[in-house]
Amino acid sequence: MKIPRLPCWLVLAWVPLQLGCGGGSDAWIPLTEGATWEHEMTVVGQYGEANTGIVRSTNMARRVLGDVSTTPQRIEYLFGGSAAQTEFSFTAESDEGVYTLARQSADDPEPKIESPPRYELKYPVEVGTAWEVAGQSSLLTHSGEHFSMRIAYQIETIDQVETVPAGTFENCVKVTAQGTGSANMGIMALNSDATVTVETQAWYCRGVGLTRMIHSERSNHLLVGSAKLSLLLRSYMPG
């Protein structure tokens, strides 16, 4: 099974969001160089096939892209005995919030700038804060292409307690996301249309980062199916 590229919000998970200067012990996701997270990952594909593995994320030394200072993060996907697949994200902060400035796959010689930048979290960090980004499905495709859509995010709660394999954590923020996209399936599917709905729930805890994430994609078309991805924090090492 091809390991899916996580959508931006999931990566919701991987980009080093900073809610407060310095990325210290009270940051939602610490920015300290060398900080490492390991998440248990389960993917149920569109035809019901299941795979489990580990996603390891490590903060690297800060890097300037253009005139913007970013925190690069190395993301390694490890499934079974296969070699790790690796990619990088580059995240920055503005007065409006935290955004992904660039991405880099193993095949890219240099980071690819996102235009426009994709905000992962908007300020203020309080219940009801909402924003939208241009996105796409990550697990479901049509003719090899992902479903394009607008994805709406909202901070739902700011004071949850989370219990995961890595421990129990307080002061956690829950962010939800939802989007819907449609596409024509082509002549082989009698030019029928397929609609995919994407939903994500993610929990970030102060001083730790992403602790849990549930992402699902559902379609109304037999040839597209449904799929689900989940993450649970199993370890975190400060830098």
Question: How many domains would you assign to the chain?
Answer: 1
CA atoms within 13 A on the CB side of 175: 29
Question: pLDDT tens per residue, the chain (239 residues)?
Answer: 444 444 433 443 333 343 433 345 577 667 778 999 999 999 998 778 888 999 999 999 999 999 999 999 999 998 876 667 899 999 888 888 878 899 999 899 999 998 888 888 788 889 999 999 998 998 998 888 899 999 999 999 999 999 999 999 998 999 999 999 999 988 777 788 999 999 999 998 988 888 999 999 999 998 899 999 999 999 999 87
Does 11 map to a domain?
no
Domain span at 114:
21-237
Does 183 map to a domain?
yes
Does 68 map to a domain?
yes
Does 7 map to a domain?
no
pLDDT value for 2: 45
Does 95 map to a domain?
yes
**Whole-angstrom Cα distance, residue 72 to residue 188?**
43
Does 38 map to a domain?
yes
CATH of the domain at 184: 2.40.360
Does 9 map to a domain?
no
Does 10 map to a domain?
no
